[in-house]
Amino acid sequence: MILAFDTSILIEIERKNNLMIDKLKELVKLYPLPAQIPFMSYFEFYNGLSEKNVKNKNKSLLFVKKFKVIQTTDKTAEILSDLKSTCEKKGLSLPLADLMIASQAIENNFVLITLDADFNKIVELKKIVLSFS
């Protein structure tokens, strides 16, 4: 099985959060294939670069480009539609971006690694929600 990194994980790796990096090193022992990132995580990370100066932006781009980006498909749209409908029926409010990330992880049978506990609401999703408490 392959790990998929949520935007929150990308940010912490880039910040060189040693606690996060140590946790990820343990996970890599269980999931040795290279981690990938959902399209929306790439978008969110890239969008956040607009605030950085050119030097830091280029450094961040080199970092994120190390990951393969999971591309969307017709199946992604179908899973996304089903997830959105299921959440609405349960009265759950989740951002469309999070549902998109979850859809790609589900479609590809990846394990999503995140800091966002909202992903716990998506029972169909294989995930590991990390915390630092």
- Say whether pLDDT at 52 is over 90: no
| Rounded mean pLDDT, 58-77 | 95
| Rounded mean pLDDT, 46-61 | 88
Residue 128: DSSP 8-state: E
C-alpha–C-alpha distance, residues 118 and 107, integer Å: 19
- Say whether pLDDT at 71 is over 70: yes
pLDDT of res. 51: 81
Burial class (CB in 10 A: 0-12, 13-18, 19+), 14: middle
Q: Where are the beta strands (DSSP E) in 84-125?
A: 111-114
At 78-128, the pLDDT tens digits run 999 999 999 999 999 899 999 999 999 999 999 999 999 999 999 999 999
Going by CATH, does the domain composed of 3-129 fall within 3.40.50.1010? yes
- Say whether pLDDT at 133 is over 70: no
| Rounded mean pLDDT, 65-84 | 97
The number of residues making up the chain comes to: 133
Tokens encoding 71: 């591309």
Cβ contacts of residue 62 below 8 Å, gap of 6+?
none
| Rounded mean pLDDT, 73-82 | 97
At 8-48, the pLDDT tens digits run 999 999 999 999 999 999 999 999 999 999 999 999 999 99
C-alpha–C-alpha distance, residues 16 and 60, integer Å: 12
